[in-house]
Amino acid sequence: MKILKDAGHFTVLTPVEELKAQLLRIERAGRTCYQSEIEPITEKTATAFIGRILRSGHESVIEHGNMTVQFNDLSRGFTHEQVRHRLTAICQESTRYVDYDKAGEGPDLERFQLKCVAPPHRNENEKVLLKDGRHMSFAEMAASQEMFYRALRKSGWASQDARQILPIGTKSQIVITANFREWRHIFKMRVTKRAHWEIRRIMCDLLDYVKPLLSPIFDDFIEAGTDKNGLRYFEKKPW
């Protein structure tokens, strides 16, 4: 079992040009409400219009924009939290149909290798005392789960049955599409100091990426500090 620390990353699948063009589309759609159409609509007019819309609390208008993000090398703990945001389209790596026993040889070694995400602020090699008097580390416990999984597969268990032994820290990949209003909600919940360290770290990085591109949508999220483990968090400033 390969241990991952600080390994999670994302890829925004929506092209940058498309993200920026959606700001203009949001203004065009929103002006329908007020019969206040103007020409030409530009990035400058869209920025001002969206700012006014959000300050007024009319957030439904920004649902006309959306973004698709692929999250990689994050745990199933991360995905369990992410899929609780229901107004999203989701495609996730399946432990039913992905057979991690294929990692034994050949070109599939890396693709099907079992990996486990460890807390970056913990020493995965530190020994802890078990009830039976033995000492084991996080890394050794994760390796034992992989050993049990492979033993079950070799004894004839289907991958969808053997997966029951896999820990919540098992690496996963997930693709999320959501409109901009839902992304605002996701950031509001997941970049705060109270959020779990794994989802907070990756969402803070994603927020760093989208703020310069979509400033009228996300510029009210401000980096506020770091916690005792050195992980950043943001706060949403009031309008």
Catalytic residue numbers read: 190
- Do residues 98 and 172 lie in contact, with contact meaning Cβ atoms separated by under 8 Å? no
List Cα–Cα distances, 85 to 62, 90, 185, 186, in angstroms: 17, 10, 9, 7
